[in-house]
Structure 1
Amino acid sequence: MSATALLCAVAVSASGCGIGEAGPRPGVAAEVDGTVLSTSDLNTLVDAVCVITAATPDSAATSRGAAQASLLQSWVGSTVVNAFGDEQGIDGKAPEPDTGSIAGWDQLDSDQQSVVSDYLTRIGSAQAIASASGGSPDPDDFDVVINPRFGLAIEDGQFVDEDGQLSVAVSDAAKDAATSTSGQLSADEVAALPDSQLCGARPEAVATPEG
């Protein structure tokens, strides 16, 4: 799957260990064994992915909230797999992301490009580790902290949202987020979103037949 397709697919796949003993540190969206995703970098990643989604033909738009939840889930899942790879000595080296082929890349500023490149590298490494290991890491074996403001936690190795709805297994997040479309808003719902909540190009509302 191309880098553009991965980013756009992740944007529309919505989605215990959530806060740890001391709770989340200020400005931290998530942390896995000392690897930190700041709230600032998460916001930057969402901004960038929404630009990419809007610039990609036939890519479905969604809400910023859904994109944020999906990207956070994918980051946590891939970082758990990378931590597992480090622990087991599994080579997670993956090819450099082909950023030149990403739609809208030249519309991103340097910070956005850096955050997207890091995200894609992390996903690629996790996929390489998962392929080489043939096993699934238990997130309970790692120190995972997710800021509760995002309404995402991990129970029995599965991501759950604030309503207790199950999503993919943590170890599968990196690969499954690229193909899942669960939780995608309807075209009418997306079309009705205000600009501040829209991620991607606004679709035309579907006309309701009279009678």
Structure 2
Amino acid sequence: MFGLDLKEIITVGMVLFAVIDIIGSIPVIVDLRSKFGHIESEKAAIVSGVIMITFLFIGKELLKLIGIDVHSFAVAGSFVLFFLALEMILGIRLYREQEAKSASIVPLAFPLIAGAGTMTTLLSLRSQYATINIVLAILGNIIVVYAVLKSSSKIEKLLGENGLGVVRKTFGVVLLAIAVKLFAANVKGLFI
């Protein structure tokens, strides 16, 4: 009915969960809380959800406007995901954020939650999955993001530094496999 597919929703949800990496971002969130005090979890979750859903619907048209096809964007996105995965697995930073002035919208909602990797992933996923399933996966992830933001200090204490490292590296490997799959699925489209 309406293209709903639970398997697709779960698959897309897991991909987005790995890319957003909200669990791996807990140290950053805790640092932001210490710098800026209270973080508006509701505001950050809603704004990031709106950004993702908006980009899902207008991203392809925006690409057409500037003359880029979805296959090219997906291949480029696979490289972004590849480097994000390397950051997660190796514990290095290849991309440096600018210093934040406020915490709820920038850098939390954008670019930490709904950043370049998430945008690239959304358009790549749109070429393979039904839009309704992607939207539901986004909403599911926003609920998880909100819950994590609300309870980040408790999660940090529960997992500890080693636990957070294991979670981050595990999702890094998953993300690396997703990057390879996206590349393989879209690189053929560049030569057609």
Asked if Structure 1 and Structure 2 have the same fold, meaning a TM-score greater than 0.5 normalized by the shorter chain, the answer is: no
Counting helix residues as a fraction of each chain, which structure ranks higher?
A: 2
Higher relative contact order (CA 8 A, sep 6+): 2
Counting strand residues as a fraction of each chain, which structure ranks higher?
A: 1
TM-score (norm 2): 0.30
